[in-house]
Amino acid sequence: MRPSTTERYFPGRSDAELRDYRAAFNAAHLAMAVVDRDGLVVAANHALAQLLGAEPHSLVEQSAADLVDLGAEARTWQAYLEVLRGRQARLRCTRRLKHPDGHSLWTEVTLGPVPGSRDVLLSVADISDRRDLQARLRHLQMHDPVTRLPNRALFFERLSTALESSSYEHGGTGRIGLCYLDLDGFKAVNDTLGHRVGDRLLTAVAARLTHCADQAGYGRSGGHLVARLGGDEFALLVEDSTGTEQLAELARSVLAAVQEPFDLAGQRLSVSASIGVVERATDGTSATGLMQMADTTLYWAKADGKARWTLFDPERNAHRMTRQALSSTLRPAVERGEFELEYQPLVDLETGEVRGVEALVRWNHPQFGTLTPNRFIGIAEEDGSIVQLGQWVLRTACRQARRWQLDLARPADTPVFVSVNVAVRQVWDSDLVGDVAEILAETGLDPELLQLELTESAVMGSAGRPLQALQALSDMGVRIAIDDFGTGYSNLAYLSRLPVSVLKLDGSFVRGFRYEEGTHPNPADETIVEAMVQLAHRLGLTVTAECVETAGQAARLRRVGCDTGQGWLYSRAVAPERIAEMIGLRTVRPQAGQP
C-alpha cells in the first residue's frame, strides 16, 4: 500500500505522531501545499484551499504553477523549474491572484525543499493589506500634498521610463514633449495674502492644467502627466508627441487658462505663466538633458518679458553654451596669456599724423579661435572678470606706449598717446585710480599719454565714487574720453560738469557722411555733426570721429571741424610693429580702395 504524505516525510514515526503532524499541517494559518518533482500538488492544507476558494482535496494532482500563476513570467517560471529539479534551493516571488468570487489578492509565494524528501513545500501568504499600505505610502511619497498632483520624484520616474522604453515598438512616435512652466506673480500673492491663499491658488492652477491636458486628448490616451515640481513650477509631460505644433497648442491653451482670473478667499487674483516648451526624439535624449533644455527655455520666456511660451531653439542654446564656456574660461585665460592687444591709429584730420592709438583686446581662444571684444567683454562685465582683464589691458597698453616713446620719438615730436577702454564695473569694483597710478609709475609713461574711454551711458549721470574717480584721474593728467557719443543721453550741458576732454562721435553719425552711388546725402547729417562739434569745442573738448571709411567722409568731417579720425580709411586694428611703422612715417596714407 502507498504510504501517506505524512509517512513519506516522517518515516519511522508512530501513528500518533503522524496524526499530530497531519493535524498541524491542516490547521496551520499559513497556506501550504506539498508539490512533487512533476509540479503536481500532493497535499494541500485548509488555509490554501480557503485562500484559493476551493476544497483541499480538489487541489490535489493540480499543477502548482497554475494555482499561483508561476508561468506568467519567463524568469519566474525558469526559477520554479530549477527548484523542482533540485538545482535551486528556494524561490520567493510576489503574485497577484484572482479569487473565484472576483476579488484580487496579492500573495507572497515561497518554494523550498522538504527535508528528507525530493518534494518541495509551497507556501502562500496573503500580503494584500501590506501591499495596500505600501501603495498608499508610495502615493503619498509620489504626490504633492497641496495640489494632489504627481510630484518631482514621480515626474522623473515617469520621464525616465518614457525615454527608456522603445515607443516605436508599440506604434508610438518615438518622440516626447514637455511644457515646463513657472507662475509669474505668485510670490506677490503668497507674500501679501499668506500661504493659505497661495496653496489654494496652486490647487486651482493644478486643476486648470489638468483640464487643459484632458481637453487636448492626452487624458484619454494616458500619454500625459501633469506634475508639480516644487514651489510654483509645474510640468506637462507628453509621451508620443506628434511634433512642436502639438506642444505649442498645449502651451497656448495653458497660458490662456492660467491668465483667467481666480476667485479665491473673496478676492479676484490674477497671475500669468512663463512656459518653456521642448519637443525631442526619445532616442539619445536623457532626462537630465531634457530638463536642462526645458529650464533654459523657461529662462528665455521670462527674460523675453514673461507671460509667454518659448520653444527650445538649438542655435540660441548653442550661443548660450558658448557664452557659458567663455565665462568659465575667461579668468584662467588672462593667467595663461591668451589675450593680446592690437592698436588702431587716431589720425589728425588736418595733417594726417598719428596722434594716438586705441588699444583693442583680442582673445586667442584655443577652441573658438580669435575673438573680438564684442564676444566676451559683456560676459567679463557680468561675472566681474573685467577688473582682472582691464588691469592686464591697461598695463600692457601703457608698457607698449612707453616703448614707442623711447624707441621712436624725436625730440621735437609729440609722443603718441594710447587710449584704453574702461568698463563701469572697473570704476565701481576696483581701485581704478590706484591701479592707473601704479601702472604709470611701473611703466614710466606720462599721464598725459594715457586716455581712458568710457561709454556715454556710463559717464552721464555719474555721481559719488565714479565721479570722484574720474576727477582724480583728470587731476592726475589722464585724459577722459566719452566713447560712442550720441547714442545715449547726449547731454552736452552736463558735460561741462564732468572732467571730460574728448568726445568720440559714434559711427552711426559718421556713416551718414558717406556718399553712396545713386544716393544723395542728407544735409541734416552734416548739420547735426557740425553743431555737436562746435558745442564740444566751446566746452573745450576735442572731437574724434569713429568709423571713418572713405576720403569723402574724412573731407566732410574735416570741414565741420572734427579734430581726429579713426577707421578703416587709415587702418584696421593692427599689431604693435605695424603701428611703429606708421609712427615712423609720421603721416598715414589712406588705404587703397577707399575713395
Structural element, H or E, at residue 32: strand 31-35
Alpha-carbon distances of 435 from 59, 438, 445, rounded to whole Å: 96, 5, 14
Using a pLDDT cut of 90, give the percent of the chain over it. 58
The model's pTM: 0.59
- For residues 142-169, give the mean pLDDT: 87
Confidence class for position 220, pLDDT limits 50, 70, 90: very low
Name the one residue in this structure whose C-alpha cell is 522623473.
156
251 grid coordinates: 502651451
The values of phi and psi at residue 347, to 5°, are: -110, 135
Give the pLDDT confidence score for residue 208 in this predicted structure.
97
CA pseudo-torsion sign 322, 325, 328, 334: negative
In the chain, DSSP finds a helix count (H) and a strand count (E) of 25, 21
- Calculated CA dihedral for residues 532, 534, 538, 544, nearest 10 degrees: 70
132 grid coordinates: 495596500
- Which of residues 172 and 501 earns the better pLDDT score? 501
Query: Residue 1 pLDDT > 50, yes or no?
Result: no
Give the pLDDT confidence score for residue 219 in this predicted structure.
43
541 grid coordinates: 573738448
- For residues 198-217, give the mean pLDDT: 93
97 grid coordinates: 491572484
561 grid coordinates: 571741424
CA 503 to CA 512: how far, in whole Å?
A: 18
Confidence class for position 485, pLDDT limits 50, 70, 90: confident
Query: Residue 221 pLDDT > 50, yes or no?
Result: no
Q: Hey, what domains does the chain have and what are their CATH numbers?
A: 5-131 (3.30.450.20), 143-312 (3.30.70.270), 324-585 (3.20.20.450)
Residue 100 buriedness (CB in 10 A; 0-12 / 13-18 / 19+): exposed
- For residues 29-55, give the mean pLDDT: 92
Return the bridge partners of 123, or none.
Answer: 32, 110
Confidence class for position 410, pLDDT limits 50, 70, 90: low
Neighbours of 207 (CB within 10 A): 15
Using a pLDDT cut of 70, give the percent of the chain over it. 88
Give the pLDDT confidence score for residue 363 in this predicted structure.
95
Q: Any idea what the Cα angle at residue 466 is, between residues 461 and 472, rounded to 5°? A: 120
438 grid coordinates: 601704479
Residue pair 489/427 in contact (Cβ under 8 Å)? The answer is no
Helix, strand, coil percentages in the chain from 3-state DSSP, rounded to 5: 45, 25, 30
Alpha-carbon distances of 113 from 6, 19, 49, 88, 270, rounded to whole Å: 15, 22, 21, 9, 69
Q: Any idea what the Cα angle at residue 130 is, between residues 128 and 133, rounded to 5°? A: 110
Residue pair 136/146 in contact (Cβ under 8 Å)? The answer is no
CA 285 to CA 239: how far, in whole Å?
A: 13
Buried b (16+ CB within 10 A) or exposed e, 425-457: bbbeebebbebbbebbeebebeeebbbbbbbbe
Give the pLDDT confidence score for residue 424 in this predicted structure.
84
Give the pLDDT confidence score for residue 131 in this predicted structure.
87
- pLDDT tens track for 351-369: 999 999 999 999 999 888 8
- For residues 565-587, give the mean pLDDT: 90
Beta-strand relationship, 267-269 and 272-281: unpaired
Q: Average model confidence (pLDDT) for the chain?
A: 87
CA 247 to CA 546: how far, in whole Å?
A: 48
Give the pLDDT confidence score for residue 585 in this predicted structure.
77
Confidence class for position 543, pLDDT limits 50, 70, 90: very high
Return the bridge partners of 175, or none.
Answer: 281
311 grid coordinates: 520653444
Residue pair 183/273 in contact (Cβ under 8 Å)? The answer is yes
- For residues 495-512, give the mean pLDDT: 84
Give the pLDDT confidence score for residue 24 in this predicted structure.
82
- pLDDT tens track for 50-101: 999 999 899 999 999 999 999 888 999 999 999 999 889 899 999 999 888 8
Return the bridge partners of 274, or none.
Answer: 182
Alpha-carbon distances of 120 from 189, 377, 550, rounded to whole Å: 66, 78, 101
Residue 519 buriedness (CB in 10 A; 0-12 / 13-18 / 19+): exposed
What is the CB-side half-sphere exposure of residue 39 using CA atoms within 13 A? 17
